[in-house]
Amino acid sequence: MAAKPIKKIQLNSQKFKEEYTKKYTYIKQNTAGPDKETLARKGFSLYSFSSEDEAISEEEEEDIGEEEYEDELIAPCHRRGSEDWHSALSSLPRTTQVVFDFQSGKAVPRLREPRNLYGVTGWGPRNMPRWPQECEVIPDKIHHIEWAPSSPEPIYSPCNLKKVPLQETEPREATLVYMADGADKEPFFICSRVGGSRGPLKSAAVPFLDPGDSTLVFEARFESGNLQTALKVGEYDYELTLRTDLYTDRHTQWYYFRVINTRANMRYRFTITNLLKMSSLYAEGQRPLLYSQKEAESQGVGWHRVGEEVRYYRNGRQQSGHSCYSLTWTCTFPHDKDTCYFAHCYPYTYSNLREYLSRISQDPVCSSFCKIRTLCLSLAGNLVPILTVTSPSLGNQKGGRKPAVVLTARIHPGETNSSWVMKGILDFLLGSSADAALLRDSFIFKLVPMLNPDGVIVGNYRCSLTGRDLNRNYKSILRESFPTVWATRSFIQRLCEERELLLYCDLHGHSRKANVFMYGCESDDQSELCKRVFPLMLSKNCPDMVIVIAATGIDSDSVVIVVS
């Protein structure tokens, strides 16, 4: 089908009327409150993700016809408080928009004047992170330098450690020094707003008793932060609990919190007491990450592994009927009165992604073959970007359409290493090397760098704001509940109709498996070897990787593991 500019689409077609009537009726019936009619009218917006100004190449333009535009132009806006509707709707990236006036109870469509395209920029009110309305968020902007050690940090080798008892029975005097709101403050997600809760920010940490007080001041109410409570059980000894994923009573693995008022060269002990996994890489040499603000400013040192006496053990406590496990470690801080952060893995926030994409869009070279668009809105109304990377050519050397490669990441918020891998892939694809140019000439890359921005923002480990694992809901028909995976599945289905999909790879992290590995897809015997081709290519091109075919508990016939 020949390409048709968006201005030629019959926006008042019968299909639009039917879709609008269906959507309007649903929202009207399911929206509570005195402003029901207004919310129903404002809960439906038509907009486009594409325009002639954003075209990658003539080849891609040919892939989009009138019928596909009609599908993409219809997009739901999630229910929020009525006071947030204007800002929420104005944040949508539009080129041409249909607005409906209501006259005598009927919807009369009219065409609004085209607006300027809105891409992914830096800090701006239109795409600031949106939080659930009940979340308290401190105004501090958290920034960490990017730094890597000159050589890989060694795995911790515990020695001469006493066996930890199963039951922690000794009574201990404890002082509560930090308490944040729990995951069950609201039973389910209701609405979102920039900056979270409207009310005054309460103090979650205890104030200093006197200028010489050595108590650490904890904080985690920032983007991707996670810490529920902190108990002081000794002069330099603290017991911590993590907040479960919002609207659930499980999934405590990711932690990321700040401490201030440190004392140099004093041995501190931290113990997280409500982890739920039976085993962990912390029992096999992994250590927590530390970031010292003074060390970053004076020495240029960023996140690095720290900790002695690292242990992971079952502690005899119960949470929602499940046994709890403790992670404990000791460490010393390098500076007095420092601001330090601890994390399970190198943090990569939604704001980090936005700033990175802003740099790409402002680079005249990168932006010539990388276009950033909006795949959809998340449940909280955060923009979900999708990137297309390819050279502006008409196809491959044989004259056909370029095959596609699809990469996605961060469907599980606590697996931050997947974001760093995605960033490395993008850095390479947008680089000036001959290999990168060859890849851009040969393929069209579609990349969704953050499938679960809501979970990333609030500091979840595994779930979205539905309290469900998005990675288990690709087959769900509940578009409103799982918009990101629904939109991803939809665009991949359309992509497969247009061209060959050569490879799809979803990037994850793992808390119990070491090294780098890949799971292959379920397939019949005839295509059994196909899924081993890409891991084989990796092993041939990367000296740090060795291919191993291994059976696991998932599917012994369809798992390929690449070990580094």
- Residue 514's pLDDT is 78
DSSP state of 148: -
Phi-psi bin for 168: left (phi > 0), alpha (psi -120 to 50), beta? beta
- Mention every residue, 6+ apart, whose C-beta is less than 8 A from residue 255: 226, 227, 240, 242, 272, 342, 343, 344
434-442 and 417-429 helices, crossing angle to 10°: 90
Q: Within 13 Å of residue 423, how many CA atoms lie on the same side as its CB? A: 19
pLDDT at 134: 93
105 and 196 in a single domain? The answer is: no
Q: Does residue 126 belong to any structural domain of this protein?
A: no
Same domain, 322 and 356: no
User: Within this chain, do residues 180 and 320 fall inside the same structural domain, yes or no?
Assistant: yes
Query: Which residues lie below 8 Å from residue 34, measured CB to CB, with a gap of 6+?
Result: none
Is 110 a domain residue?
Answer: yes
Give the span between the Cα atoms of 470 and 488, in whole angstroms: 11
Which residue among 343, 360, 377 closes a domain? 343
Q: Are residues 494 and 422 in the same domain?
A: yes
Which residues contact residue 198 at a Cβ distance below 8 angstroms, ignoring those fewer than 6 apart? 133
Domain end point (choices 320, 343, 366): 343
CA nearest 464: which of 237, 192, 273, 230? 192
Q: Decide if 43 is inside a domain.
A: yes
Examine the domain organization and report whether 210 and 330 are in the same domain: yes
The model's pTM is 0.77
Q: Are residues 318 and 418 in the same domain?
A: no
CB count within 10 Å of CB 165 equals 12
Q: Say yes or no: 507 and 519 in one domain.
A: no
Helix (H, G, I), strand (E, B) or coil at 429: helix
The per-residue pLDDT for 65 is 32
| Alpha helix (H) residue ranges in 390-529 | 417-429, 434-442, 453-458, 483-498
Question: In 3D, which of 503, 405, 403, 419 has the Cα closest to residue 456?
Answer: 419
> In this structure, are 322 and 247 located in the same domain?
yes
Tokens representing 86 are 């204007």
Q: Which domain holds residue 186?
A: 132-343
Cβ count near 48 (within 10 Å):
22
Evaluate whether residue 463 is within a structural domain. Answer: yes
Total domains present in the chain: 4
> Is 266 found in the same domain as 169?
yes
Quote the tokens at residue 553: 């508990």
Same-domain pairing of 506 and 524: no
Give the integer Cα–Cα distance in Å for 521 and 474.
15
Same domain, 223 and 169: yes
Strand residue runs (E) in 410-545: 444-448, 501-507, 518-519
Q: State the amino acid at position 462 in one-letter form.
A: R
Closest-CA residue to 325 (of 256, 242, 248, 236):
242
CATH number of domain containing 502? 3.40.630.10
In-domain check, residue 127: no
| CATH number of the domain encompassing residue 333 | 2.60.40.3120
Task: Report the candidate in 419, 414, 418, 508 with the shortest Cα–Cα distance to residue 461.
Answer: 414
Give a yes or no: residue 125 inside a domain.
no
Looking at the domain assignment, is residue 496 inside a domain? yes
Q: Are residues 208 and 309 in the same domain?
A: yes
Q: Domain ends where: 60, 95, 118?
A: 118
Quick one: pLDDT at residue 482?
93
Q: Which tokens in the block code for residue 30? A: 């399911």
Quick one: DSSP state of residue 504? E
Tens digit of pLDDT at every position of the chain (564 positions): 444 333 333 444 455 455 545 554 544 455 444 344 443 333 333 322 322 223 333 334 333 332 332 333 233 334 444 344 444 444 444 444 565 656 666 666 766 544 434 444 443 445 789 999 999 999 999 999 999 998 888 888 876 555 565 555 455 688 999 999 888 888 899 999 999 998 888 888 888 777 788 999 999 999 999 999 999 999 999 999 999 999 999 899 999 999 999 999 999 999 999 999 999 999 989 999 999 999 999 999 999 999 999 999 999 888 888 899 999 999 999 999 999 999 999 999 999 999 999 999 999 999 999 999 999 999 999 999 999 999 987 545 554 689 999 999 999 999 999 999 999 999 999 999 999 999 999 999 999 999 999 999 999 999 999 999 999 998 888 888 999 999 999 999 999 999 999 999 999 998 888 778 788 777 666 667 787 888 888 888 887 777 766 555 555 444 455 554
